[in-house]
Structure 1
């Protein structure tokens, strides 16, 4: 959760229980969550008009 630089993933506390929450509108499709998830539970599907971020110009 803490590895997401776009703050997509968060921990919500509901009735004293910690739950995984997401703000998908913040996703920049960097795929960091796929790389760091120990359970391999997350997959990023590229937007229909692209293939994720373009880092070539950086």
Structure 2
């Protein structure tokens, strides 16, 4: 079951980075950083940040 949820988090990190960060870390600083990156950089840096959070 853990492997399946990890794959789903990776897919979410690519298409909806803030959702993946929220599911992994909850509502906190990482989510705020990711939302700001998503708004400011047309999601490229947000995807990188979300993948970092998911793999961490």
Would the TM-score normalized by the shorter structure come out above 0.5? no
Between structure 1 and structure 2, the one with the greater Rg is 1
TM-score bracket for the superposition, by shorter chain length = under 0.3
Identify, as 1 or 2, the structure richer in helix. Answer: 2
Q: Which has the higher contact order (CA 8 A, sep 6+)?
A: 2
Scaled by the length of structure 2, the TM-score of the pair is 0.24
Scaled by the length of structure 1, the TM-score of the pair is 0.24
